[in-house]
Amino acid sequence: MTKSDYERLAHDMVSRIEIVNSLDSARPNILQVRVDGRHAVLKMGIADSLCKELSVLERTVDSKHTPVLFDSFKTDGHIGILREFIEGKCLEFGERLNPEQYSSLRESVRYLHAEGIYGLDIYPGNILMTPEGRPRLFDFNTCDVCIRDSSSRYRMSWDWELINILRGDN
């Protein structure tokens, strides 16, 4: 689908939406929008590709670790996820976290694991640093949402390996 196709779908899905801009020119399905006076992100795609992300945002009501889900919409095999817009910038490849930021990221991963969310795609592009320097995780398309079982130990250890790479003191 083209950018204009996604913009048309966005307007069809939410009549009160104002598109502010596209957040990523390579991915026209992710738009910064304003709805009812608040900034948000609208991510749209084929229903199968966004089901995991929607499931994670529905399970993680603690906005300290992930974006808050405002709403979701389904139309003709597509899903739209309307979530909190978080000011900040993604970590750059090679950028390391200071001890306080690293501790905060570990807290977020522990929280997600406690909610049954494993196999996170933790890399700098999926970690948003707020202006206050707090890391927030987003983009949960590849994670596993499940109950804790024998295979969750492997998925948990993989998550810890990924965040250890971001430690600033190694």
Please state the pTM of the whole predicted model.
Answer: 0.76
Enter the tokens of residue 88.
């900040």
As a whole number of Å, the CA-based R_g of the chain is 16
Q: Which two tokens stand for residue 76?
A: 């003709």
Residue ranges of the chain assigned to CATH 3.30.200.20:
3-84
DSSP for residue 126: G
Q: What is the DSSP letter of 152?
A: H
Q: CA 34 to CA 40: how far, in whole Å?
A: 6
CATH superfamily assigned to domain 89-164? Transferase(Phosphotransferase) domain 1 (1.10.510.10)
Q: Is 45 exposed, middle or buried (0-12, 13-18, 19+ CB in 10 A)?
A: buried
Quick: pLDDT tens for 91-119.
888 888 899 999 999 998 888 888 888 76
